[in-house]
Amino acid sequence: MNLHDVIKGPLITEKLDQAREKFRQYSFIVDKKATKIDVARAVENLFKVSVEGVRTNIVRGKTKRVGRSIGKRPNYKKAVVTLKAGDTIELFEGGTVEP
């Protein structure tokens, strides 16, 4: 599997921001077929950091309705990557965000 196909993007929530600051854990949305080893290799090669551990989870899509029609959001796979001490990943380059 290609390294650029494994990681689809970062997952950013308030809870994950606290984990990033406190435990050096970063969360990514990854390909459903990717294994923990694939995720660790992709993070190490793309961001030039050392990975200590990887935990994966398949998040089931919620059922949503608009009026009478019912739909379902797609399932996706989430990976929480723990980095070794001293390593960081810059998720946003360029600094400030304009409103």
66-79 pLDDT, tens digit per residue, is 999 999 999 999 99
Phi, psi of 92 (to 5 degrees): -120, 115
57-66 pLDDT, tens digit per residue, is 999 999 999 9
pTM: predicted TM-score of the whole model, two decimal places: 0.84
Q: Is residue 99 predicted with pLDDT exceeding 70?
A: no
Q: Is residue 97 predicted with pLDDT exceeding 90?
A: no
At the topology level of CATH, where does 3-85 sit? Alpha-Beta Plaits (3.30.70)
* Amino acid in position 8: K
For residue 15, what are the CA distances in angstroms to 2, 22, 23?
30, 11, 12
